[in-house]
Structure 1
Amino acid sequence: MAGPIHFYFDFASPYAYCAAGEIERIGKEFGRAVEWRPILMWAVLKAHGIAPPMDVSAKRAYFLKDMQRSAAFFGLAYRHPAKLPLSSHLAARLFHATAKNDPRLAIALAHRLLPAFFAEQRDISDEVTLAGLAAEVGIPADAAADRMKGALGRSLLETAVQEAISAQVVGSPYFLVDGEGFFGADRLPQLRWFLGGGGR
């Protein structure tokens, strides 16, 4: 059986928001499972000695325009988040702790959190907001709180970050399949081409 597509991303990445629906379609098209792996991009970049892109004024000005344009290209609603950059550690812990026993529910959660942040201006660093969004996909408030703050979520997120560092992930989203890495939502056409036999 063909290996999975590892989908590394940060919940605070607008380009992950752009890519989330399309990578699922690509996975189905080529019979590949998509393994969602939320990480803390700032921690991965720090480990590689790479400056956060929004810290550079020229890049920030470009990205602020490009985020909206990219969302429009993918046919997605977009309202610039009230708080960006933002630490998505609670959202990522909640995802990983949920995925431990129910990967499909975790993916449903991700599909709710990304538009909540990038189209609805909801603060996904806030525990109460996260608990409310989790409830919308069927995760009870007490379970959501435990997964955000408990040892399991912390441990699983730490492991995911270390795996991303070892895999030489350099941005969000980052797709790893058959030993080949693709960085950015704009690399999805290349990923489709590669899975179809291109470049081999």
Structure 2
Amino acid sequence: MSKCVEFFFDLGSPASYLAWTQLPGLCARRGARLEYRPMLLGGVFQATGNASPVMVPAKGKYMFVDLERFAQRYGVPFGLPPGFPINTLGLMRGLIGTQLHAPERFEALLGVLFRALWVDRRNLGDQAVLDETLDKGGFDPAQFRALAGMAEVKEALKQVTEEAVARGVFGAPTCFVEGQMFFGQDRLDFVEQALA
């Protein structure tokens, strides 16, 4: 039986974006299954007493330099969207709603949203910009909003976030391989080692 990488992430996390650019290929190399676990990073921070590195000016400044280094290493485009950090509650609800109700479209939507934020540097906190992004990506903005507003979808995001916290998650991205936890996109070499 192949191993599984559980990928707990939030669209608003630039490190989650960088991990996303690498994990599918890494899992393919190792014959592992990639399981996407959308969670709300703000909820994780609230539950654990953690905060975004940008809240500490020196740390935030260094983090952006370091993220750019990794983007260059991976050979992927990367830039910060205006208004960063953004509130991702609606985005994450729409994403997990799609995962639940149209799983065959989930990965395509994930790509549209990650690229819009971190490649095209679009402010998805602006409803008009989000609607345009979804429409251009082949998704119905009204359907996305309807999914995001469903009680069961809100509960699903809350449950994944609570599960993440219960398992020791304090930030994004966090991967699990057979119970082992790996925090940060800069730990993917350890994820691959765990799959070997």
Q: TM-score, normalised by structure 1?
A: 0.90
Matching of residue 84 in structure 1 with residue 84 in structure 2: yes
Q: Percent identity?
A: 28
Q: Secondary structure at the match of 1:85?
A: coil
Q: Deviations over 1:8-37 (max 9, x none)?
A: 111111111111121111222222221111
Q: How does 1:1-200 map to 2 (within 5 A)?
A: 1-196=1-196
Cα distance in 2, alignment partners of residues 160 and 128 from structure 1: 28
Q: Secondary structure at the match of 1:176?
A: strand
Q: Supply the AA of the counterpart residue of 2:22.
A: E
Q: Supply the AA of the counterpart residue of 1:189.
A: D
TM superposition outliers: structure 1 runs of 4+ over 4 Å: none
Q: Secondary structure at the match of 2:182?
A: strand
Cα distance in 2, alignment partners of residues 123 and 100 from structure 1: 25
Q: Secondary structure at the match of 1:2?
A: coil
Cα distance in 1, alignment partners of residues 126 and 166 from structure 2: 30
Deviation at 1:4, TM superposition (A): 2.3
Deviation at 1:101, TM superposition (A): 2.8
Is this contact kept in 1: 2:93–2:157, CA < 8 A?
yes
Cα distance in 2, alignment partners of residues 54 and 141 from structure 1: 30
Structure 2 unaligned residues grouped into runs of 5+: none
Q: Supply the AA of the counterpart residue of 1:158.
A: K
Structure 1 unaligned residues grouped into runs of 5+: none
* Deviating more after overlay: 140-149 vs 92-101: 140-149
Q: TM-score, normalised by structure 2?
A: 0.91
Q: Supply the AA of the counterpart residue of 2:173.
A: P
Does the C-alpha gap of structure 1 residues 128 and 144 become closer, same or farther in structure 2, counting only changes over 3 Å? farther
Is this contact kept in 2: 1:19–1:185, CA < 8 A?
yes
Cα distance in 2, alignment partners of residues 57 and 142 from structure 1: 38
Q: Supply the AA of the counterpart residue of 1:111.
A: G
Is this contact kept in 2: 1:90–1:127, CA < 8 A?
no
